Amino acid sequence: MATPTYTKSGTKATTPAKLNKDIFGVDVKSHSLLKQAYVAYQANSRENLAKTLKRGEVRGGGKKPWKQKGTGRARFGSIRVPIWRGGGITFGPLGKENYSRDLNKKAKQQAIRQALSVNSANVSVIESFEVTSGKTKDAAALLKKIGVERKVLIAVDNKDAMTAQAVSNIDGVKYTQATYLNVYDIMNADHIIVTKKALDAIDAWLGKAGGGKK
């Protein structure tokens, strides 16, 4: 599978790179595994911040609102009972819930292959992606020269501090190590830029030679 290829300066290369069809050319007949991996990523990234107060945790309510008998009203021992406004919450979140989901290693790898295959038309290979100046304007200029600007996923074999600094302020650009690719980032990207060394790392990780059998 041939794909657009660029030099490290962003110019079009004369010889296109080839993508491994076992990784970028998988026949995806069902998207159920992709959905499981996508939802699992979202669930595992979720911060458990929601917390409600039970009756015993709500401040106040120590005094009986009215006497037990003789008023004609229902008896209550506290104004903080759950059926009263401002009272405790019954069966509300306590901040201890576990929303995480898990997929086994083979399922994760297969889901990533499927995501790369579905989005293979948007994959480009670059000799190397380095912004040694660490300046955002230089990174933006390189992306513009390649022809991509928004929702870009850049995969490298090893992250560089200066390049990470340069792309960090560009909205919609994700800079990651090839072996940390996930379904969520792949499916949300309009353009995927992979360096040649990163492509080799992906082949070793997800290809048959790397033990990633389908």
Listed by start position, the domains of the chain span: 2-46+103-210, 50-98
Kindly give the residue spans of alpha helices, DSSP state H, lying in 31-104. 32-45
The DSSP secondary structure of 183-209, one letter per residue, reads HHHHHH-SEEEEEHHHHHHHHHHHSGG
210 pLDDT above the threshold of 60: no
> Is the pLDDT assigned to residue 47 strictly greater than 60?
yes
Angle at 54 between CA 51 and CA 56, to 5 degrees: 135
Between strands 123-126 and 5-6, the pairing is parallel
Placement of tokens 């090893």 in the chain: 158
- Taking the C-alpha atoms of residue 100 and residue 142, their distance in angstroms, rounded to an integer, is 38
Evaluated on CA atoms 121, 124, 125, 130, the torsion sign reads negative
Q: Tell me the C-alpha distance between 30 and 34, whole Å.
A: 8
Six-digit token pair at 196?
């040649």
The mean per-residue pLDDT over the stretch 55-79 comes to 92
User: CA of 196: how far to CAs of 65, 127, 176, in Å?
Assistant: 74, 5, 14
The structure's pTM equals: 0.82
Whether the CB-CB separation of 109 and 103 falls below 8 Å is answered with no
Alpha helices in the chain (DSSP H): 21-24, 32-45, 105-118, 136-146, 161-167, 183-188, 196-206
Q: What percent of the chain has pLDDT over 70?
A: 97
Q: Give the pLDDT confidence score for residue 1 in this predicted structure.
A: 81
Q: Which two tokens stand for residue 156?
A: 């490298």
d(CA 130, CA 143): 11
Q: Can you tell me the mean pLDDT for 114-124?
A: 95
Which among 126, 189, 111, 115 is positioned nearest to 157, based on CA atoms? 126
Least confident of 12-16, 18-22, 66-70: 12-16
- pLDDT tens profile 133-179: 999 999 999 999 999 878 999 999 999 999 999 999 999 999 999 99
How many other CB atoms are found less than 10 A from the CB of residue 179?
Answer: 14
The average confidence (pLDDT) of the chain is 92
Q: Which CATH architecture has domain 2-46+103-210?
A: 3-Layer(aba) Sandwich (3.40)
